Amino acid sequence: MAHPLSPLGIAHTLISLLPVVAGLYGLTRDRRIDAASGAGKLYLAGLTVSVLTSFGLSSTGGINPGHVLGVLALLAAFGGAWLVPAFSFLGRLRPYLQAFGLSFSFFLLLVPGINETLTRLPAAAPLATGPDDPVVRTALLGWLVLFIVGFVLQSRGIRRATSASGPAASRRAE
């Protein structure tokens, strides 16, 4: 039987669904997570609260890989949302780096989520026994491939959008 969730674990799980849903909504609607949109703002707020609540959870009693991934997700998200657009010297790379930062944060957000889901559900007989289980490793490999394909598609969309808007728009973006 799976380990029961504490009240904080339940709250963290529910809070963590917010950035997942907001991120999926943005990726579906806009083909990216747009930090300026309502969904993007909700994603960033939900991600922040999700990572903060994770620090109260640890089966090992200290900092674990999930906590580290959470901090990296925050750095990637806020770097992509706020820092990259502010650095004009990045020129034409800015939209690509912004998309990468926010997409990579979404990827990192779901790595511990995939492990936790597979090791807890179904409750009577979880699909996996831990992070080293082949089921978890295969799911994470699939998630990595999906992330790479998704970012390549985002990059192609950015390239099409910048080339369709012409050289004047490219200069304005710099």
Residue 166: the pLDDT is: 63
Query: Whose structure tokens read 């997942």?
Result: 20
Tens of pLDDT, residues 95-136: 999 999 999 999 999 999 999 999 999 989 999 999 999 999
Question: In percent, how much of the chain has pLDDT > 90?
Answer: 81
Please state, in angstroms and rounded to a whole number, the distance separating the CA atoms of residues 38 and 36: 7
pLDDT in tens, 68-102: 999 999 999 999 999 999 999 999 999 999 999 99
Taking residues 46-65, report their average pLDDT. 88
- Give the tens place of pLDDT for each residue, 138-167: 999 999 999 999 999 999 999 999 888 765
> Which of these, 145, 68, 45, 151, lies nearest to 103 by C-alpha position?
151
Cα–Cα distance, 102 to 79 (Å, whole number): 8
Q: 46: Cβ–Cβ under 8 A, 6 or more apart, which residues?
A: 15, 16, 18, 19, 22
- Tell me, what's the pLDDT at 174? 44
For residue 1, what pLDDT is reported? 47
What percent of the chain lies above the pLDDT cut of 70? 93
